[in-house]
Amino acid sequence: MSETPLIADLGGAPQEAPLSGARIGVVTFPGTLDDRDAARAIKLAGGTPVALWHADTDPAALHGVDAVVLPGGFSYGDYLRAGAIARFAPLMGKIVDAANSDAKLPVLGICNGFQILTEAHLLPGSMIKNDHLKFICRDQTLRVENNRTAWTNQYEEGQEITVVLKNQDGQYVADEKTLDELEGEGRVAFRYVGWNPNGSRRGIAGITNAAGNVVGLMPHPEHAVEPGFAPLGADGQYSTDGLGFFASVLSQLVGEAK
Amino acid sequence: MPRIVVDVMPKPEILDPQGKAIVGALPRLGFTAFSGVRQGKRFELTVDGPVTDEILEQARNAAETMLSNPVIEDVVNVEVLEA
């Protein structure tokens, strides 16, 4: 195990120099916890993280970023409903407009970020308390059901990845008609493998919008990006499976730039 | 000061995990008469001055857009409480 580097060396130039030009915003709300982890994951994947502030009312508040990550945490202490207050932040209006625009800004919501995306109606359904009522924190295997989104194109369809799952309100719910539409249109992006950790309808861990630019999921890919600080995968090796999210969006952005 | 009360309940078809936990605990204290519990939320909006139709309409809008999430919850009551 001594050859396993515990901390990635961020000192050198990124391996994929052409990707480093892509700038990915990470939004911080009051109560956000995982913004720095998300920024680190973006950097490790070869992108440039840009810190964005929820209350920024400047017309250029998005700082011209090429994509946005809404990271995990407990914005506003989960008061009212998880993500319910954050979704009315001034910056969220700009993100919703950009995601729905012709430019189709890629947006990834992780955990609380996913909850904010459903409250903002960028993604359907909602999250309620885990069916077993306990906070859960574990390594979780997911199956990539849709690898045609901005955030999953570097995975194989059906690929199983192991990342961290940690939440209290993680039970994905929607009415049967919405669930049937999501299934029929291939918009279930991730499903839990092995068991259902929170009672989510149809084992859904994450979904995408129809255009594939907005993706939300409860588990945390940004916590599985470097050896030594990652879950152990099925093969007993440290999982850096989460890097694929950030590599995917960088790959798409570079493709568009060509 | 008059207040507007807004009551929000989880939709009937949505399993209410909190209510389920409460109904499981009640018999342990000897409260055996209750076969189900659903937990909702009550909001009290204080108004400085009389509650006009326009203010009541604002409260209804706030209830639908922010105080509840129509995917999982219903606004079951909006009423004025005179102080």
Average pLDDT of every residue of chain B? 94
**pLDDT (tens digit, 9 = 90+) per residue, A110-159?**
999 999 999 999 999 999 999 999 999 999 999 999 999 999 999 999 99
Yes or no, beta carbons of A81 and B13 under 8 Å apart: no
User: Is the torsion defined by CA of B58, A174, A188, A74 positive or negative?
Assistant: positive
Write down the pLDDT at residue A11. Answer: 56
Residue A137 known to be catalytic: no
* B71 interaction partners in chain A (CB closer than 8 Å): 118, 124-126, 173-175
Q: How far apart are CA A122 and CA A207, in angstroms?
A: 11
Spatial contact of B31 and B78, defined as CB atoms under 8 Å apart: no
Structure tokens at A97: 């407009």
For residues A154 and A227, the model is more confident at A154
Domains for chain A: give ranges and CATH numbers. 17-257 (3.40.50.880)
Tally the residues of chain A: 258
Q: What is the CATH number of the domain that holds B51?
A: 3.30.1280.10
Phi-psi region of A64 (alpha: psi -120 to 50; beta: other; left: phi over 0): left
Per cent of chain A over pLDDT 70 is 91
Q: Mind giving me the DSSP string for A190-243? A: EEESSS-SS--GGGEEEEE-TTSSEEEESSBGGGSSSTTSS-B-TTSSBP-TTH
Classify A188 as helix, strand or coil.
strand
User: Is the torsion defined by CA of A150, A206, A244, A84 positive or negative?
Assistant: positive
Residue A223 known to be catalytic: no
Yes or no, beta carbons of B17 and A131 under 8 Å apart: yes
Write down the pLDDT at residue B14. Answer: 86
**pLDDT (tens digit, 9 = 90+) per residue, A53-111?**
999 999 999 999 999 999 999 999 999 999 999 999 999 999 999 999 999 999 999 99
CA angle in degrees (0–180, nearest 5) for A81-A84-A88: 165
ipTM of the prediction:
0.85
Write down the pLDDT at residue A190. Answer: 98
> Which of A84, A118, A173 minimises the CB distance to B66?
A84
Distances (CA, A) of A138 to A30, A167, A200, B79: 25, 10, 16, 45
Tally the C-alpha atoms within 13 A of residue B71's C-alpha that lie toward its C-beta: 22
* B38 interaction partners in chain A (CB closer than 8 Å): none
How many domains does the structure of chain B reveal? 1
> Which of A119, A129, A175 minimises the CB distance to B69?
A119
Per cent of chain A over pLDDT 90 is 84
Write down the pLDDT at residue A9. Answer: 60
Range of the structural domain that residue B26 is part of: 3-81
Average pLDDT of every residue of chain A? 92
CA angle in degrees (0–180, nearest 5) for A144-A29-A254: 45
User: Is the torsion defined by CA of A184, A185, A188, A194 positive or negative?
Assistant: positive
Q: Where are the beta strands (DSSP E) in chain A?
A: 23-28, 48-53, 67-70, 107-110, 126-128, 136-144, 160-167, 171-173, 188-192, 204-208, 214-217
Write down the pLDDT at residue A2. Answer: 41
Write down the pLDDT at residue A1. Answer: 39
Weakest-pLDDT range from A19-23, B51-55, B77-81: A19-23
Write down the pLDDT at residue A20. Answer: 60
Closest residue of chain B to A198, computed from CA coordinates: B17
Distances (CA, A) of A170 to A27, B1, B12, B19: 21, 39, 19, 17
Write down the pLDDT at residue B15. Answer: 83
Contact map slice: A 122-141 vs B, CB within 8 A? 124-126, 128-133
**pLDDT (tens digit, 9 = 90+) per residue, A191-203?**
999 999 999 999 9
**pLDDT (tens digit, 9 = 90+) per residue, B47-72?**
999 999 999 999 999 999 999 999 99
